[in-house]
Structure 1
């Protein structure tokens, strides 16, 4: 099975990124044939940014992924901007993508409201480039968080529409991918505002747990986590704060929310749940933070890993692009 997923370049990865995406990458690198992971610097330029900061954040993200357990010998890890096939395929796929579909994307509507000076066309085309990222590698599986489900459905529609229009009757050119969303922890919420997703940009500083947080910072944030009325520790739509803590604890331990509820039947109150969640998250993230410190200082090694991965990625993407160009009548006949 071929696996592909992309991740935004920022060193400020939070707990939701780790549980919903990064940990899935590590678990998938031995299932994938190959498993391909991309740091999407081209997506990052659709909003306001500083060029020098972007380059630093690519290295930050690379170091975090390697610290979490990604091994360039067991997967393909590369920087999106190094493989030009992504942008050409994006343009070709735009011919089978409806503008109305892009206008209806929730992330476009939300992010465009925040761009007061300029709403870039790149923000609108973000899902088309995202489709090209995945379809270039004919990936069957895409590990994503719950918030990317809408974009995944769009790329599935794009692949079907392309095949219907350009593929031979007895086959397909582009693979229609399936999502892989974790059963536990697919949507980690802000500890201070548990009705909102944990976020680097839109969350609260006290409610966002970062992968690189020191242990005492993690403990402090969980200690101050907002809970709910009553004292029963159960998952319930009416108890978003407690439900979020149960999900986090279950995900960090690799167990189920039901098992956490059973364990917490003898708890003295929400304080015990907060302590247990903090301990589990600290134990899960501390090795990553320590390994990151070792890796981040060697930018030459990080760059070498990305360049090597790009060569491997380019060999796959170039073949798909050639097939797409030929089917669409672009350029000389193969």
Structure 2
């Protein structure tokens, strides 16, 4: 399934992209309020990946009129691409120290703040979060590395189930990466979602106004929100020349390995939430990872394996609504 590919002019400047993030994050900045007691399963700051092409430093004005301007630049460790939090006026390298992110050769930062790798297997689907009313699977693409005896993998798509609905976010394959072409595909209940290729363009279904898709750049970056349930930022990116050179991922001229860098925020999760990422939001979660390791790895992949992108049959599934009609493959 594929949504209509939108041929747009160049992506809007990073200044505007950062300003949007400020608007998303600054609603409470003008009138500070006491911090509420966190509910079980909450957490995770929604983030947007920002690519800076020409300059490292920008003056970003938050939409909140009472808030100060924020001068940000990407850290020296990642001068051309980083994550920015307007509320804290800080930038981070992708996936560093920000709860609720997933990127690259899947590197997760959990709700507990610990970062780990989950390799999974190419061509398969794994439940990254499963709760009573929300289930999220990730489809992995990749290349097999014989020397390491494992697959290099990336998240190519998400299959989200909530109530009796499904939502798809994916990055379509491209032999050669073109940053002015839109590689994001979105669908709601099996029907393609068409969002104008203009920053801040927004789509919401008539029957479910709490659900929305907003472009946070002209192409390749969207924010998907379901009021009171989740907010997900998705950014389609390729494996870069430098990453391929350093890690020997095996990228070819037939596949630029376009995948999704993701940021998550969840509300009202139950104490039973599970999944690769979901379990880290549980109130009693204790990490079993070797945090001192250079590359902490979460194992147990068979526990999270799902039979399809919208299937809710992984061993740790908590989802309570049957969605047989939505189990069609993508």
State the TM-score, normalizing by the size of structure 2.
0.26
Structure number with higher strand proportion: 2
Structure number with higher helix proportion: 1
Larger radius of gyration: 1
State the TM-score, normalizing by the size of structure 1.
0.26
